Structure 1
């Protein structure tokens, strides 16, 4: 029987046929999680994104934040150090253990909860000023029912004037024009290759190669930008602003990532006269 350290990713006989939401738990094995911080490079990523998320949260008066895809804790730690009250969640027990360990290294005892977004309110109680769902994590949901259910749970967990920040890869550009990347903002580690081995309308299978020749894969659903925005509107979010690589204005094919800021509250329209 394999120990956790020896466990390997398994996608079955036909990896591109593996299109199941729950499979992400088998993808984030301990060996891959232990490489994740090298992939991100916390210092470089902090420099590349600057205070974008901190500023968005502060501008809207948020104080209590639910990080529903904390991964190894990068954004949770940054927000804690910026003075926010943060609860950190993930579906992967391995990721949460690593996040807690990272938090300790920065002098913080993180409040961590293992959750499935589709039943978020079963494990998370109370309401939050903002929810962040970052790191392209939402694309682990393969069925529309799962995506709608998760967004509805996010909506219900927010205060009446709360908001959701959710990011995703620019799958439109990948599907329509092929894969290119600047690796400027999200994956900043040196000598690490991230590349889609397979892409179709229902699957983006990415390969992650590290300097020690270890390789891992993630199977994700290639969300198109306008589809994501439509689902947000349909579950009740009222106003959605989308940034491309942290910029308000961009050409559609240029950004590596889109960031959606979706507000729960209605905005009163100004008088036309």
Structure 2
């Protein structure tokens, strides 16, 4: 491990015991943020993802989108270029700065806001047709109260009949069968190694190794699919549909990622 990476990413003497929601801000330091676009590879990701989100949002009549985990701006920029009105939020100031820079390089001025999800509606204005939380970001939340509060904030930020799109790794497969990833859709960068070096029911510690021998880590909560869907229902979302790697039908162990579409609707009880 490079001394820079290990020094900047301070997890303490027992990294596996670092299970604090707020620690993610320290994980995304300048060095890791600078590497993030190498990990994603915008062109490869755009090709593999296609227009899945764009078409799905257009079919729902979505116009105004809040990207609550914009990272370096990949989805914000793609959605702006597809004609949506987008506000880009993130908890990391370094990520927001990189997203703004990436937007300018592509001829866009991103509207960015630094926001803690747990107080999201304190920091944003208005309501949105869609809230998107992508890139496995929701699993930075280690405390169940944080997860519930965050989902409630997402719900509140939506217009009536709005939709939350939230993705996550297939932690069920990691916990039950061990790690196996095709890196087909999400992390498409070349010569970059990504794998969990430690897993237990309350923590998955991912290791990211880059061609220049730098190494970084992320501590994530291994969110099970059924549990995530239950939490969404309990804060009020209805008609939750879950895709596996952009497909409606799949074997539970196959997808690298699950993508949840949770509708904010009011359905009258049947008489």
Q: TM-score range by the shorter chain?
A: over 0.9
The alignment status of 1:187 with 2:187, answered yes or no, reads yes
Quote the offset at 1:231 in angstroms: 0.1
Give the TM-score normalised by the residue count of structure 2.
Answer: 0.96
**Structure 1 residues 68-79: aligned runs within 5 Å:** 68-79=68-79
Task: Describe the superposition over 1:205-244 as per-residue Cα deviations: whole angstroms up to 9, x where unpaired.
Answer: 0000000000000000000000000000000001100000
Q: State the match for 1:249 in structure 2.
A: 249
Quote the offset at 1:56 in angstroms: 1.2
Q: Is the 8 A contact 1:239 1:266 kept in 2?
A: no
Give the TM-score normalised by the residue count of structure 1.
Answer: 0.96
SS of aligned partner of 1:204: strand
Q: Is the 8 A contact 1:128 1:158 kept in 2?
A: yes
Partners of 1:199 and 1:54 in 2: how far apart? 34
Q: State the match for 1:198 in structure 2.
A: 198
Task: Describe the superposition over 1:8-56 as per-residue Cα deviations: whole angstroms up to 9, x where unpaired.
Answer: 1000010000000000000000000000000000000000010000011
Quote the offset at 1:124 in angstroms: 0.7
Partners of 1:166 and 1:143 in 2: how far apart? 18
Q: State the match for 1:129 in structure 2.
A: 129
Q: State the match for 1:20 in structure 2.
A: 20
Q: Is the 8 A contact 1:71 1:95 kept in 2?
A: yes
The alignment status of 1:222 with 2:230, answered yes or no, reads no
Between the two proteins, the alignment pairs up a number of residues equal to: 268
Q: Is the 8 A contact 2:115 2:123 kept in 1?
A: yes
Q: State the match for 1:111 in structure 2.
A: 111
Distance 1:261 1:108, change over 3 A: same
Q: Is the 8 A contact 1:7 1:29 kept in 2?
A: no
Quote the offset at 1:268 in angstroms: 6.4
Q: State the match for 2:261 in structure 1.
A: 261
Q: Is the 8 A contact 2:6 2:216 kept in 1?
A: no
Quote the offset at 1:266 in angstroms: 2.9
SS of aligned partner of 1:212: coil
Task: Name the Cα RMSD after superposition.
Answer: 1.6
The alignment status of 1:147 with 2:136, answered yes or no, reads no
SS of aligned partner of 1:146: helix
SS of aligned partner of 1:207: strand
The alignment status of 1:212 with 2:227, answered yes or no, reads no
Quote the offset at 1:60 in angstroms: 0.6
Partners of 2:13 and 2:5 in 1: how far apart? 23
Q: Is the 8 A contact 1:237 1:262 kept in 2?
A: yes
Q: Is the 8 A contact 2:127 2:158 kept in 1?
A: yes
Quote the offset at 1:6 in angstroms: 10
